[in-house]
Structure 1
Amino acid sequence: MRKKMGAALVGLAVAGTTVLATGSASSHGYTDSPISRQKLCANRTVTGCGSIQWEPQSVEGPKGFPARGPADGTICAGGNGRFSQLDDPRGGAWPATRVGAGQNYTFRWQFTARHRTTDFRYFITRDGWNPAQPLTRAALESQPFLTVPYGGQQPPATLSHSGTLPGKSGRHLILAVWTVHDTGNAFYACSDVQF
């Protein structure tokens, strides 16, 4: 009986280790240019963030945005209730990165664990959106303003790519989506910007 129990425990440990090694736990990242809400929390620039301050790289949710993915109102947290502070618009008072309409901008991702990647997509809010409300699909332009295909490759620890910002004015929110190639998930990062 002891041998059977011991073998069962070893089997469970091996299975658990395999799941951790191959599942979404092996992939994590966030944007720091423009600075994302989770990075503002990790830097302690913004307080009252809960556990995201220790895990800015962990905003992971279902991929397929905008057709699938996190529910409206939970997009900035990737649908993850543990990080719901990221969905709180704070009355539109999140610190914002200054950018220019039509500017060629360099977006930068930091990866604490790299994973094969399908693409990176960047969405921006529509003119007239309400920054005091949680982010919804209706608040975003229907198509990304920038898509960077990555062909299933594994990114380096830091990845930068450039794209032209849309012709906007005033306060907006950029949603960056990193689509993982070989899992059902993506990583989400919301960055407040001021044109």
Structure 2
Amino acid sequence: MPVRRRTVTRIAAAGLAPLAVAAYAAGPAAAHGSMTDPVSRVAACYAEGPESPKSAACKAAVAAGGAQALYDWNAVNIANAAGNHRALIPNGRLCSAGNDKYRGLDLARADWPAGPMTSGAHTFRYKGTAPHKGTFELYITKDGYDPSKPLTWSDLEPAPFAKATDPGMQNGDYVFSGTVPARSGRHLIYSIWQRSDSPEAFYTCSDVVFGKDNGGSGGGGNGGANGGAGTTPSTKPSTKPSAGPATGGEHPSDAPKAPTDQQIAAGEGKSTVEHNGHGDNDPKTNGSTALTPVAAGSQSPAGTGAGLAETGGSAATPAIAIAGAGVLAVGAAVLFAVARRRATTPGRHGR
């Protein structure tokens, strides 16, 4: 009898295991954040409004990749990066981290909304919707950077100009300092946030202008396959503070806006990623719980990654997992019933 009871227990456990796996797979992916000072492309476009952005560049980004990428503004990531950023992200796809859902961020244009920047000491801010331990590295484009051409790794300085490990948070933002190199005209700051409690990493592109916005060395916005319908930016600098998001038109140097807490809350319902850590507001789980690393959907070639979730599965993954678990659970229930009958009914050798 003890042997039979152990058999029944093992079968029951086998039936519950797939349900536990399905529950994990069906859970929302955790969003983590984006640069807000200087504001990233995806955050600036989200602040303009995913359904009807104001600037020509953000409109082109939505036309290329859809509004969902903006609702998911805080999840431009690679789940299993583990520091291999240059090997995993191809040239021309740095701003999307190779993730097809964010392909609109890679458009080569000289009219992306750009914030003013000066060389010297600067305090950087990075909105952390799901805080984690890790290191931030900021890279800047070299002299001669041409925004009308696809961004490549060789466009960036080889070493970060700012680096911070486990910086403190203020009002939901990571805050850290760095010294910005001397530049002139339009440039780009590229951030890499590599978690230390997981191989996952996050990426942003922030467009900035040092002094006069000359549209970069490449001149006006790029048309065609890479950039869509570009807008030639004015070389005349803005003479008054921005009253709203930059439009990429008359005053392309006007500072774009980071999303407000109200905007973030308002769009959370349309986001496919969770905004409060790993299913809760507990800072302990947000800061130390590592997600199981899986193959990143961001590595799919252009045009094949539509619907990929941030953790590497497709949008259908939860449904498939639940359906499969249901089949396994039914089978386990049948085995459980058979085993129980054998355990409680005397056999011919029991007489």
TM-score (normalised: structure 2): 0.48
Residues 2-36 of structure 1 deviation map (CA, whole Å, 9 limit, x = unaligned)? xx999766422312444677x9x335110111010
Name the structure 2 match of 1:178: 193
Q: Distance in 2 between matches of 1:154 and 1:16?
A: 36
Q: Would you tell me which structure has more helix in proportion to its own residues?
A: 2
Amino acid at match of 2:101: R
1:147 pairs with 149, 163, 170, which one? 163
Distance 1:133 1:9, change over 3 A: farther
The answer as to whether partners of 1:115 and 1:154 remain within 8 angstroms in 2 is no
Distance 1:124 1:83, change over 3 A: same
Matched, 1:83 2:98: no
SS at match of 2:175: strand
Q: Distance in 2 between matches of 1:105 and 1:13?
A: 50
2:17 pairs with 11, 14, 34, which one? 11
Name the structure 2 match of 1:128: 144
Name the structure 1 match of 2:336: none
Distance 1:94 1:9, change over 3 A: farther
Task: List aligned pairs for 1:3-152, cutoff 5 A.
Answer: 10-18=16-24, 25-44=29-48, 45=54, 46-47=58-59, 48-49=61-62, 50=66, 51-61=68-78, 62-64=81-83, 66-89=85-108, 91-102=109-120, 104-117=121-134, 119-150=135-166
Q: Would you tell me which structure has more strand in proportion to its own residues?
A: 1
Amino acid at match of 2:142: R
Gaps of 5+ in 2: 1-9, 49-53, 211-351
TM-score (normalised: structure 1): 0.83
Q: Give the alignment's Cα RMSD to 1 decimal.
A: 2.7
By how many angstroms is 1:41 displaced? 1.6
Distance 1:185 1:154, change over 3 A: farther
By how many angstroms is 1:40 displaced? 1.3
By how many angstroms is 1:39 displaced? 0.5
The answer as to whether partners of 2:125 and 2:176 remain within 8 angstroms in 1 is yes
Residues 69-114 of structure 1 deviation map (CA, whole Å, 9 limit, x = unaligned)? 411111111111111001112x211011101122x11111111112
Number of matched residues?
Answer: 185
Distance 1:72 1:155, change over 3 A: farther
Amino acid at match of 1:111: G
The answer as to whether partners of 2:192 and 2:204 remain within 8 angstroms in 1 is yes
Gaps of 5+ in 1: none
Q: Distance in 1 between matches of 2:13 and 2:84?
A: 43
Residues 29-59 of structure 1 deviation map (CA, whole Å, 9 limit, x = unaligned)? 1011101001012112533432221011010
